[in-house]
Structure 1
Amino acid sequence: MPARTAVTGRSQEPRRRFAEELRLLRTQRGESLRQLGKALGWDASLFGKLESGRTLGSPEVVEALAQHYGVGDLLLTLWELAVGDPTQFKEQYRRYMTLEQEAVSLWHYAMSAPPGLLQTAGYAREALASGFKGEELDQQVEARIGRRKLLAGDDAPPFRVILSEAVLRTRLRDPQEWRKQLEYLAEGAERSNITLQVLPFSAGPHGLMNTAVKFLRLLDGRTVAYTENDDRGELVEENRRVEELQRRYDAMRDLALLPAESRKFIIRMLEEVSCEPST
Structure 2
Amino acid sequence: MPARRAVTGRSQEPRKRFAEELRSLRAERDLPLRKLGEAVGWDWSLFSKMENGETLGGPEVVQALDQYYGTPGLLLTLWELAMGDPTQFKERYQRYMRLESEAVSLWHYAVGALPGLLQTKRYAQALLSAGGMNGKELTTQVEARIGRRELLSGKNAPPFRSILSETVLRTPLTDTDAWREQLEYLLKMSEQRKITIQVVPHSVGPHALTNTHVMFMRTTTGPAVAWVETGYSGELVEEAAAVERLQLRYDLVRDLSLSPAGSRKFIMDMLEATSCEPSI
Per the normalisation by structure 2, the TM-score is: 0.66
**Matched residue, 1:193:** 194
Aligned to 1:249, the other structure's residue is in SS state: helix
Shift in CA distance, 94/278, structure 1 to aligned 2, threshold 3 Å: farther
Contact 2:92 2:236 (C-alpha < 8 Å) held by counterparts: no
**Matched residue, 2:157:** 156
**Matched residue, 2:15:** none
**Matched residue, 2:176:** 175
Contact 1:214 1:227 (C-alpha < 8 Å) held by counterparts: yes
Q: Deviations over 1:89-124 (max 9, x none)?
A: 954411100111110000000111111000000000
**Matched residue, 1:97:** 97
**Matched residue, 1:34:** none
Q: Which amino acid aligns with 2:104?
A: V
The alignment's C-alpha RMSD in Å is 1.7
TM-aligned CA deviation for residue 275 of structure 1:
6.6
**Matched residue, 2:262:** 261
Contact 1:176 1:278 (C-alpha < 8 Å) held by counterparts: no
Q: Deviations over 1:228-273 (max 9, x none)?
A: 1123210000000000000000001000000001000000000011
**Matched residue, 1:35:** none
Q: Count residues with an aligned counterpart.
A: 191
Equivalent pairs: percent with the same residue? 62
**Matched residue, 1:124:** 124
1-structure distance, mates of 2:265, 2:110 = 18
Q: Deviations over 1:20-64 (max 9, x none)?
A: xxxxxxxxxxxxxxxxxxxxxxxxxxxxxxxxxxxxxxxxxxxxx
Alignment of 1:110-259 (within 5 A): 110-129=110-129, 130-259=131-260
2-structure distance, mates of 1:192, 1:166 = 26
Q: Deviations over 1:203-251 (max 9, x none)?
A: 1111110110100011124100010112321000000000000000000
1-structure distance, mates of 2:278, 2:215 = 34
1-structure distance, mates of 2:105, 2:201 = 25
Contact 2:110 2:214 (C-alpha < 8 Å) held by counterparts: yes
- 1:106 is aligned to 2:96: no
1-structure distance, mates of 2:217, 2:101 = 10
Aligned to 2:227, the other structure's residue is in SS state: strand
Per the normalisation by structure 1, the TM-score is: 0.66
Contact 1:215 1:223 (C-alpha < 8 Å) held by counterparts: yes
TM-aligned CA deviation for residue 192 of structure 1:
0.2
Unpaired segments of 5 or more residues in structure 1?
1-88
**Matched residue, 2:26:** none
**Matched residue, 2:271:** 270
